[in-house]
Structure 1
Amino acid sequence: MNTPFQPPTPTPLHPEGSIDTEVRGSVLLIGINRPNKRNGFTPKMYRELGLAYTQLDDDPALRVGVLHAFGEHFTAGLDLPTIAPLMQRGEKAVPLGLVDPVDLGMPGYRRRTKPMLVAVQGITYTLGIELMLAADIVVAADNCRFSQLEVKRGIMATGGATLRMAERAGLGNALLHLLTGDEFGAAEALRLNFVQKVVPAGQALPTALALAEVIAEQAPLAVVATRQNVLKAIEHGPLVAMHDFIDTQQRLSRSEDAREGVQSFIDKRPARFTGR
């Protein structure tokens, strides 16, 4: 019998918001917690998000992350009055040396290695879309309202939207939304491959968590290697990614998890992977 979904409990509200983490087995829930301001990101929140992503990658007991938000909305994006001074100085809110939540591979930042799922609902603007596109699997509630509206504020999206929207949806579809800053719904986001599943409102987080738990049951080394090879194919081309096939498969096939995978097949039982 499936265990009933238990929603995460937010910490008390902080004036500058917070990023709350909760460990569930080998899954790390990462919660955006500033619902009274539509979860608009302050520098404090962005810094804590980088710390949470780094926690996921650094803790060997964690296998998958799930990013979600408290309240009715995912995020209205950056809180510009608090973030603008950093932009004007050319500074980043996430300290160097941490995992970059938008996974751009910028100098001084680490790239995430473990899978990240995102559950979105309600208003999901600017940074919210970029966090989605930087993740691996996105579950959207059917009440989502998306907008990449930087052009309406006199700035440019620099969290990956200009790179990933066209890769997912094609040049014309990307520019349609990037240059107009219009608002669109979950059905359009699904059509454009920005999200992978659309579910009724209230079901995005339970669905994302269930998917994360399935991924967490698989062999961790194989999951990371598979994800990295897919990303390499997208970013550098299939011929480059193909060159990793033999070495990676040789390394994986010598692991304890590969032996367990074979033995579990012989024994006709679920595998018990350890990440070794």
Structure 2
Amino acid sequence: MTDKVKVTRHGAVLCIGFNRPEKLNAMDIDLYVQLGEAYGQLEADSTLRCGVLYGEGKHFTAGLELEKWAAQFRTGGFPALPAGACDPFGLDPQRRLSKPLVVAVQGVCFTAGIELMLAGDVRVAAEDCRFGQIEVTRGLYPVGGATIRFIQNIGWGNSMRYLLTGDEFGAQEALRLGLVQEVCSVGEQFELALEIAQRIAKQAPLAVLQTLVSARASLGDSGQQAMDRLIPDLLPMLDSDDFAEGVASFLERRAADFKGR
């Protein structure tokens, strides 16, 4: 695996780490593809029973590198993944990771970072976490599953509180909402996530996998139609004045002045 994603094995657990700490682990196209390949490695190896997703350095991820992804989305959506790779966001049910994934987060965790958490199964947060689903502050909306999975995980009102404002929130609020299951001291999040993953890996593999299958089936096809519309409904926003203003305000470090066009 190339250097934007770090993959290490701990017994039956595969640890997958963002490895761009100098860029706040922001996700560019290469990192997305490499992440999908790492998930595919976890999926294909029958001796691996659980995964841990984490970020190297002080931050989990600042989210998508928007200037690169805007051009990608205009071509029709997420990049094609190579054979054997899994969809990291789990938007394609045929390519979603079927094995359990524990996510360890620290520092900044924005946009796609939260969506990767929501696509996982158990989430651990360091007490310094800064969460933000901030797309509305840039003239866009979330296209990695947050509009569906936030509601499934924390309910309608809690979801709208943060999806519609773009406000940041911390680890204790994430725990209250049910977005994370454990909060720990800074620097302990990876070991705690690995401990949970290793406990999962010791259980009967067929029973664990069938538990995930049954739990996901309880949702039925809830949200799949919305997931299929994410990119088509994003495209008009990419050509809007508001999106241009959102990007400009970010680069100029000022409040945006949206006009609704």
1:184 matched to 2:172? no
Aligned residues: 221
Distance in 2 separating the partners of 1:235 and 1:131: 20
TM-score between the two structures when normalised by the length of structure 1? 0.77
1:57 matched to 2:57? no
In the alignment, what sits opposite 2:119? 134
Distance in 2 separating the partners of 1:28 and 1:85: 32
1:75 matched to 2:36? no
Write the letter of the residue equivalent to 1:231: R
1:37 Cα offset (Å) = 0.8
1:235 Cα offset (Å) = 3.3
1:43 matched to 2:10? no
Deviations 1:95-126 (A, max 9, x none): 165311111235xx512111000000000000
In the alignment, what sits opposite 2:7? 21
Counterparts of 1:1-276 in structure 2 under 5 Å?
Answer: 18-95=4-81, 97=83, 98-105=85-92, 109-236=94-221
Distance in 1 separating the partners of 2:140 and 2:214: 33
**Unaligned 5+ runs, structure 1:** 1-10, 238-276
- State the identity as a percent: 47
Distance in 2 separating the partners of 1:212 and 1:93: 29
Higher relative contact order (CA closer than 8 Å, sequence separation 6+):
2
Q: Secondary structure at the match of 1:198?
A: strand
TM-score between the two structures when normalised by the length of structure 2? 0.81
1:161 Cα offset (Å) = 0.4
1:225 Cα offset (Å) = 0.5
Q: Structure 1 segments of 4 or more deviating over 4 A? A: none
Residues 35/94 of structure 1: CA separation in 2 closer, same or farther (3 Å cut): farther
Residues 174/58 of structure 1: CA separation in 2 closer, same or farther (3 Å cut): same
**Unaligned 5+ runs, structure 2:** 223-261
Deviations 1:174-220 (A, max 9, x none): 11100110100011111111111111111110000011111111111
Q: Which moved more, 1:85-94 or 1:138-147?
A: 85-94
Distance in 2 separating the partners of 1:159 and 1:91: 11
Q: Secondary structure at the match of 1:234?
A: coil
Contact 1:50–1:94 under 8 Å retained in 2: no
Contact 2:60–2:106 under 8 Å retained in 1: yes
Contact 1:94–1:100 under 8 Å retained in 2: no
